[in-house]
Amino acid sequence: MPDPNPAALEFLLTRRSRPAKTLKAPGPDRAALEPLLKAALRTPDHGKLEPWRLVVIEGAAFPRLAELAETRGRALGKDDAALAKGRQQFDQGILAVAVIESPKDHPNVPELEQTYSAGAVCLALLNAALAAGWGANWLSGWPSHDRGFMEQGLGLAAHERIAGFIHIATETNAAPERPRPDLESMTTWISD
């Protein structure tokens, strides 16, 4: 017989990301953040390759990354709206964790499975932050796909990429519930 954890299931059934613009100081200090990071790294990892790493962004790193996003956006020919959106999460950031996909060569574990594992780290960190009572949001945006931003801003190696930025801080406004996918229309059952 299963040993249910009703509180955990209820959390998963009702969890929701908090809009990044509603997140304000304070964010978690290192002592509060470390258990969330440990929870995030307990993610599915075929072959025990650990094809990911974490970069914690705090303090003066935010204005530096905001400026870099604008500089890179101008170099890429982004319009004013894209420039503003590219730097917004860094202009408003309190604390963020960049989840870095860092794939390893392996004959039996395709890189795509390692990408999925990095995405699982993002979701595990997001859920751990929410379960701990913080507001949290998983963001990406064009800077997270720009090689120059990745290498100059976060020191990524050529084979690495950003899976997401998980912003964690105190939520100031409760956002309304959004529509959720319809289970019946999204599910196919195969019995034979």
What CATH number is associated with residue 117? Answer: 3.40.109.10
| Residue with token string 């304070």 | 26
Is 38 among the domain residues?
Answer: yes
Is 7 among the domain residues?
Answer: no
Is 182 among the domain residues?
Answer: no
> Per the structure, how many domains does the chain have?
1
Tokens matching residue 48: 């025990």
Is 183 among the domain residues?
Answer: no
Is 101 among the domain residues?
Answer: yes
Q: What is the pLDDT along the chain (192 residues), one digit of tens a residue?
A: 899 999 999 999 989 898 888 999 999 999 999 999 999 999 999 999 999 999 999 999 999 999 999 999 999 999 999 999 999 999 999 999 999 999 999 999 999 999 999 999 999 999 999 999 999 999 999 999 999 999 999 999 999 999 999 999 999 877 677 888 989 999 999 999
Res 175: pLDDT: 65
DSSP for 92-122, written as a single string: S-SEEEEEEE-----SSS-HHHHHHHHHHHH
- Other beta carbons within 10 angstroms of residue 107's beta carbon come to 6
Is 158 among the domain residues?
Answer: yes
189 annotated binding-site participant: no
| Residue 158 φ/ψ, nearest 5 degrees | -60, -30
Res 177: pLDDT: 78
Instruction: Quote the domain boundaries for residue 134.
Output: 21-59+92-171
139 annotated binding-site participant: yes
| Residue with token string 């509603």 | 22
Asked whether the bond before 26 is cis by omega within 30 degrees of 0, the reply is yes
Using alpha carbons, select from 140, 69, 70 the residue that is nearest to residue 100: 140
Res 92: pLDDT: 95
Is 51 among the domain residues?
Answer: yes
Is 87 among the domain residues?
Answer: no
134 annotated binding-site participant: no
Using alpha carbons, select from 146, 143, 126 the residue that is nearest to residue 135: 126
Using alpha carbons, select from 169, 147, 177 the residue that is nearest to residue 160: 147
17 annotated binding-site participant: yes
Q: Position 60: which residue type?
A: A
Question: What is the model's pTM?
Answer: 0.94
Res 165: pLDDT: 98
46 annotated binding-site participant: yes
